[in-house]
Structure 1
């Protein structure tokens, strides 16, 4: 089994896209890329826009070898939208370079919030033009050769009863057991924590605590998120913990999670990031957007490109 990161906050964009290959299947996980429309009151810096374009090309290169796509939910950094957007580095035909001739394991719509359900319908309509096999994956389990693929039942996108809906996690088991659990925010939910403890992975790719969202979550919720992440380290089989996404939208995320790093070291569990797995330095571009504008100011007219609705 090989897990190859493609795009994520440590690489300069919002995403958890990755390519996973076993002896039997090639899976592209959450094939989306996005940029925060606003951070520190500022639109994406040109460096972020260029990085999104670069990683979009890498995503489209990897998808050529994939036979399965997995979509955990319908936030726009987790799938490729069927329209042009500067935020997602897409043109009108980008989705036609992602979905054709693939089996798509996708989140079912029944428990999505309004915005995600709308995006799901929009994607489904676009896929009518595409030859592909679509399957609602919630709770599905299948075996292909020597590879077992298991999809969780819906898990909260963050806390229990989250207004942002639910996500599905993916377990791949061959010679190694890996769980891909995006956007669980810690986990912040006891339901999600129990699912991961029961899964007993050797490698866990996990959406970390949303430590930058102090206006959206109470101190108690953020504390619970970190506390549950510490409990994850009690999984007896765990060798590698890949922390992703929300946690890395704050530049000092390692300091915020220092207790987790210390405990992991004591238990000989390797905590890493997408960037480190690729042998690269972390470039948390969103978290330093204000610094980028100060040190590398774009032309005055630059911000005008974000005022057009078609670029959203």
Structure 2
């Protein structure tokens, strides 16, 4: 577990029970390098405990449903998110994609999120929830999801705060939210996201979920202005077949700028849906080291092996053929399958 000891200090590997006084504890929980779509992250300072983007999901890929190993990963990551939600007083919702929050579905979504209103209530009950405004800088699908989520959230949360471009104070810790930033390139039809900035005792941590690089120059400038010590950020979506190559190049250029001044960049999410992404991360880390800095995935930060299960799905089905019970589940009628957890 990396903990920065001060602006001039080094990043050291410390145990959670280290007696020397933690400043900002950052624990990346769930992401593509660990087998699911997510950027869920737990952050702790002497003044607060917060869980950012308490969601995880799977998705279709190459005409195949997720492999049993992916469902096993989702099961484990859901347990992890629930555990850290219980520890937290604050939950942050950066935007309304299902891999970034836990929706209050009336019935269990057994295929993609393993979530329903019961699970969501366990995450958000009696919490202060900072969330993306649903009235401005938001596309239609996210506005619709956000409206339903906020209406049901109001029944269980202790406080709901629209956080766009606002700063809040908790003892010696400030929690600041960006203005809405583009979900990828400027003008993206995918809408906007909020970055979360925590400052405590001279240290700065930024969680910039779906900025995809960043691709946007405006987003790059915003991050550079805030001068993070630790930055969690999604890389560009190189796995998409119709992605504009100019955006990939721009994202790589911007990441190369960020590694010069950021002690630790934890790079994951969209980028890690591509099997080639580890070469991308390795190349960035080589440059970061020349400045005394580091680039890692969520898995590497945890000292674990990169899984990248989604990017390997077709290969997994060929080399790790599912058992008969799982194949029966795959062939269930869609309406029944959607409400029936796969046998993993």
Q: TM-score, normalised by structure 1?
A: 0.94
Number of the residue aligned with 1:75: 97
Pairing of 1:254-269 with structure 2 (within 5 A)? 254-269=278-293
**Residue 61 (structure 2) pairs with residue 39 (structure 1):** yes
Q: Which of 61, 67, 70 is the aligned partner of 1:48?
A: 70
Cα pair 1:207 1:246 within 8 Å, conserved = yes
Question: Out of 303, 307, 310, which is 2:334 matched to?
Answer: 307
Q: Aligned pair 1:180/2:203, yes or no?
A: no
Q: Provide the rounded CA distance (Å) in 1 between the counterparts of 2:154 and 2:258.
A: 41
* Distance in structure 2 (CA, Å) of the matches to 1:198 and 1:306: 52
SS at 2:95 equivalent: coil
Cα pair 1:68 1:103 within 8 Å, conserved: yes
In the TM superposition, 1:201-220 aligns within 5 A as 201-215=228-242, 217-220=243-246
**5 Å matches for 1:1-312?**
1-36=24-59, 38-83=60-105, 84-86=108-110, 87-109=112-134, 110-175=136-201, 176-215=203-242, 217-235=243-261, 238-298=262-322, 299=324, 300-305=327-332, 307-308=334-335, 311=338
Shift in CA distance, 195/261, structure 1 to aligned 2, threshold 3 Å: same
State the Cα deviation string for residues 143-170 of structure 1 (Å, max 9, x = none).
Answer: 2111111110000000001100000001
Aligned-residue Cα RMSD (Å) equals 1.6
For 2:273 and 2:67, locate their aligned partners in 1 and report how far apart those are by CA, in whole Å. Answer: 15
Contiguous gaps of at least 5 residues in structure 2: 1-23, 340-344
Is this contact kept in 2: 1:22–1:174, CA < 8 A?
A: yes
TM-score by length of 2: 0.86
Structure 1 residue ranges without an equivalent (≥5): none
| Distance in 2 of aligned mates of 1:68 and 1:205 | 18
Shift of the 148–221 alpha-carbon distance from structure 1 to 2, 3 Å rule, reads same
Give the aligned length: 308
- Structure 1 moving runs of 4+ over 4 Å: none
Deviation, structure 1 residue 50: 1.7
